[in-house]
Chains A and B, each alone.
Chain A
Amino acid sequence: MPAPPLLALHGVCKRFGVVEVLTDIELEIRAGQVVALLGDTGAGKSTLVKLISGVAPADKGVIEWEGGTVQIRRPHDARDLGIATVYQDLALCGNLDVVGNLFLGREIRRFGFLDEMEMERRTRHLLERLTKDVPDLRARVVSLSGDQRQTVALARSLLGDPRVLLLDEPTAALGIDQANEVLDLVDELRDRGKGVLLISHNLGDVKALADRAAVLRLGRNNGFFDVNTAPQETILSSITGATENVPRRTAAPDAGW
């Protein structure tokens, strides 16, 4: 029997008021695997990420972690499991400096006080591995460029040595060089046995990097693909809705009274 996936969702639903944004979602992320989450704008990708990271918890459905059912009710729960997230809007505190943002909520202390030096040292160490363009670590994040902020958010997600990473369009705002740095990093994370959920609109990147692709359409699953074998056109048409791969419930008999 193969090991259970690190993270699995079964029949997960999320509604905002009367709008059901996610319906009966299935998803699996295995260790050492990059899963691409694809879908048009508004398909519910970011909502799914927030659901898994506890920011907008699920209303219905089951979340399994290494085969056991878990509850993710708030960001804390996801973090304790080992799930780290780069949100689409990055969710950084603009008034804190780079170091402050990286260690927010898990500051290193020394004699009860913040150990700024140690945090700065680790931040520098981490950022130097990630990018050639290391920002001023003591600059407020609000004064950084978009690229730099993205790097900071990425660095923050790596800090606690998580086991699953949720990356919501981590390359969207980046130039080519920087985007490649991020993609290399994703590759490296896979090799280190992490599970990665990667949201991207660039099918080329997905083809090059991901192992599997899960397509969302209008808040429902619309097919799973093995990226290495499935033709790009098939994936594309699944995203745009040219093919509806949803296992449609046949119209209930009582519909025709």
Chain B
Amino acid sequence: MDPSRVDFPPGPAGAPMDTMTMLDIRNLHARIDDREILKGLDLTLNAGEVHAIMGPNGSGKSTLSYVLAGKDDYEVTEGTATLDGEDLLEMEPDARAAAGLFLAFQYPIEIPGVANMTFLRTALNAQRKARGEAEISTPDFLRLVKEKASDLGISQEMLRRGVNVGFSGGEKKRNEILQMSILEPKLCILDETDSGLDIDALKIVAQGVNALRSPKRAMLVITHYQRLLDHIVPDVVHVMHQGRIVRSGGKELALELEASGYAAYGDAA
């Protein structure tokens, strides 16, 4: 990113000096149909860091997450994006997942007839296979799911139901975090995971996310509200506007935005 725009040094206090760049996005342009949504976006995320992205509706936050995950409605016209030095944009979506990129969807998708449990296991084994690892054994898998599900307050009954079928808005979001904690990705992108969560669920989900914070993992948290960032405290906050990061700062930037909104960025693009 343009260093002149950074008014707070990234990286948690006391982070090792040789911070590893995990996600590196430069001058990214992407369009859908004939409409350019991302217009030269720069963003660097180091291992161990949590960055928040805030920005008005329609500024392109979800688009960024889809482009990184490889949704094929979007066409990248310019720029680069690498994950641990590997060219993300060249990889198929499933290869990106196996490389450790996880997207918690703003609107999780329903898959009728496929038990949540089956889905989890198929996904985990597919990623293991792609990485040349052996499939997880049934007892190990059951133990893992049971533990993670109970942490997130997800019932056995929900595990047996079709993927996201008939789940409430909040249950869908919790289910995304369940998948994330089982797949243990190295880059977690959370797209408005807090929307639709009640106060208690917000805490549970935040706990789940915080449990995954690690020096080897990076997180990109897309949100509109400070309340999530009270629980998941970010190292850096970015403001996205009209397809670009227009400002970056420390966690207090979120508080500032909450107070004054995005009016100041009206002509920033």
B and A form one assembly: no
